[in-house]
A and B are shown apart, each in its own frame.
Chain A
């Protein structure tokens, strides 16, 4: 018994030290708030208009009954009252299809051509997704096709005005704070509280009629951002650490994964709409002259049959995740367990896009995890 208590204490101390070590790092990376400003509701259009005159602005706009991030034609198109966009805003620097290079008799020529742009109105869960991609594309061999676009982009966050019907952002990876943004806009009663976090964010101030925010306005903004966390319709009921352990431990439960994936189409929708998915496929195309051509990369999806197919030469191939259940499991492992140590939390931000995008409605991480770990919404397996 005393040994166990001692062990528990040690774990707690280790966790405390870990958190203390992590904290200053995190706040250094996110940059302390430089300044907090206030923008009147009626001044937003003017601000955006001037911003648009200086660089492209990518922001949420309506598409039929849904929303997408798209280049704004005018300030009037902006829809800060969006719930969630069909694709995450990573498209601003990691497009669905991206030219990597042109090739020809003189060799390859890089297609990296970053443009200065503003990504405006990003919800905090999507900022967390961007943070993860920033880390994943920078580690090891730096992916300049991503990083060049990323560095040329100023990211402005936005408070969440409407919560989507499948969101669970308040209960996933709660230790992980968003940090990759340059400024953050919070909708309050009379307008917007605009917090700048980096010099890039501070530089935006010159485009609008900002004034210093009052203590009351700052407090109201904090209240708005705290209150939205209570409005998520779906909830995880356990810590990321426990979920990671339990999901990993369920790896060999073939019956479970086969059952979960029974209605799966292997359509990859859950991958394509995910803000933390970063896999891609690279293909070449020849031009008509048959001596020059282009190399593109396109998003890939590990749920699809061919993702894990490898060539054995001479027309042979091997698929190391041949069954639906194996692919379904792989996604959950990637989102809830495999990357946690590297990212400091799960590779999931709780946007609910996969849940909403899955036609047979089997991709919802909350339902899957609660079924595995046990909870109100499902029994422990």
Chain B
């Protein structure tokens, strides 16, 4: 009995989760997959480290490492390099890991630590530098975008990797998905929206609910930033300065003028 369990375990793909500067919301989102999907995946995956749901940690080799959170402390580099050395495939897990995410908002401020931590800002454990995606420290093979990451896309990507296939990560803007679901464009109301340059794959739920896209999946390749500023100014009724700086929440490291 125990040998057959060992055998089944041995053929499973070893998966581990690690978190850096983040809210760990993407790991929590994974637990929202529900029992059926989760147990379905467990037929093929063996979770060896996942601190949101288990106490064990992995010391040995890993097949797929999912890394959540941004790289914003030089001290984290060693740990990231160790994960990379032990992992066949490394996947950045969610917006912070893939683009720096919200944490990169501090990149254009000098007094952020003071603002956030006040009198304690000098404490050594709070020291951090510029926020960057995990790929700034180690080689990343794939990215699961979004804030939080899209759990269906997680299942899709994992399935493709189990079959040795290249997953297709959308590189078209959210506009495509808005048009497909016949959402009335935010700009037709005189509002602004980042969907024009934002990476799709989410299914465009925010504009459908009347909320402008904030590009939580980052930019598409070659975003037309000049044109974005222009339409936010002309059609989104923003001043030129505001148009230029609006909605950097998830795209701070991707801008042409990123520091």
Interface residue ranges, A against B (CB under 8 Å): 63-66, 68, 86-87, 96-97, 262-269, 272-273, 283, 285-286, 288-290, 299, 301, 304-306, 324, 357, 359-360
Contact = CB atoms under 8 A, between A and B. Distances in A.
User: For the complex, would chain A's binding face be called helix, strand, loop or mixed by DSSP majority?
Assistant: loop
B73 interface: no
Contacts of B176: 267-269, 272, 301, 304
A262 B225 CA distance: 11
Interface residues of B, number: 40
A250 B98 CA distance: 42
Given A267-B175, A268-B173, A63 B40 contact: no
B171 A304 contact: yes
B257 interface: no
8 contacts: A262-B227, A263-B226, A266-B173, A269-B179, A286-B159, A288-B37, A306-B171, A357-B185
B231 A360 contact: yes
Contact of A265 (B155, B173, B188): B173
Interface stretch (B79-87, B216-224, B246-254): B216-224
Q: Which of B43, B175, B184 has the most CB of A within 10 A?
A: B175
B103 to A, nearest CB: 27
Interface of B: 36-37, 40-41, 43-44, 155-156, 159-160, 162-163, 168, 171-173, 175-176, 179-182, 184-185, 187-188, 195-197, 220-224, 226-228, 230-231, 235
Contacts of B228: 265
Nearest to A69: B182
A290 B175 CA distance: 32
Contact of A63 (B43, B159, B179, B184): B184
B163 A290 contact: yes
A6 to B, nearest CB: 51
Contacts, number: 104
B173 A360 contact: no
B171 A305 contact: yes
A273 B159 CA distance: 32
A100 to B, nearest CB: 16
Given A269-B175, A272-B176, A289 B227 contact: no
Contact of B184 (A64, A265, A268, A273): A64
Given A267-B196, A290-B44, 6 more contacts: A64-B184, A265-B175, A267-B176, A272-B176, A283-B168, A305-B221
Contact of B179 (A64, A263, A265, A272): A272
B112 to A, nearest CB: 31
A381 B173 CA distance: 31
A269 B173 CA distance: 9
A267 B173 contact: yes
B40 A265 contact: no
A87 B226 CA distance: 28
Contacts of A266: 173, 220, 222, 224
A288 B181 CA distance: 26
A324 B226 CA distance: 14
A298 to B, nearest CB: 8
B135 to A, nearest CB: 16
A311 B42 CA distance: 33
B35 to A, nearest CB: 12
Nearest to A315: B166
Contacts of B185: 357, 359
A289 B40 contact: yes
B224 A264 contact: yes
Contacts of B223: 265
Contacts of A87: 179-180, 182
